[in-house]
Amino acid sequence: MEEKVLIRLRMGSNDAHYGGNLVDGAKMLQLFGDVATELLIRLDGDEGLFKAYDNIEFMAPVYAGEFIEAEGTITHIGKSSRKMAFEARKVVVPRPDISASAADFLETPIVVCRATGTCVTPLNNQRKNKQ
């Protein structure tokens, strides 16, 4: 399946979990879960269930005020399982060194997390992808 899903949102101060406004890595997994849900709805007409992550790599810190885009694709379709690959990237960073409201759009996004996992859509819930 070549279809990709992309969501982009700003990390707020409520997402900061650690000192220095550092965002918990679990927030990236939450975004991947939302991406997976949309992919399953597009494929099967059902939200399905996230079964397991096979691999998760946290590659760079994420801070409140940054904009993160999370993208996912389905890499393999089984009878009820769907393997997926995800990547989260930092695309906007605040620039408090310039002013309280300054920010930069990153021409080259910074990859902050990659993961692969498996979701399941029970056969009786698959409305679009009857195999």
Residue 3 has a pLDDT of 83
| Token representation of residue 109 | 């996004």
Residue 28 has a pLDDT of 97
Report the C-alpha gap between 34 and 6 in whole angstroms: 10
State the DSSP string of 32-62.
Answer: HHHHHHHHHHHHHSS--EEEEEEEEEE-S--
Pairing of strands 49-58, 103-120: antiparallel
Residue 1 has a pLDDT of 54
* 101 Cβ contact partners less than 8 Å away, ≥ 6 residues apart: none
- Going by C-alpha positions, the residue among 50, 61, 113 that lies closest to residue 87 is 113
Per-10-residue mean pLDDT, the chain, length 131: 87 92 96 97 95 98 98 96 98 96 97 98 84 52
| Token representation of residue 8 | 């982009």
Give the chain's domains with CATH numbers: 4-125 (3.10.129.10)
Residue 128 has a pLDDT of 81
pTM above 0.85, yes or no: yes
State the DSSP string of the chain.
Answer: ---EEEEEEEPPGGGEEEGGGEEPTHHHHHHHHHHHHHHHHHHHSS--EEEEEEEEEE-S--BTT-EEEEEEEEEEE-SSEEEEEEEEEEEEEE-TTT-TT-EEEEEEEEEEEEEEEEEE--GGG-SS---
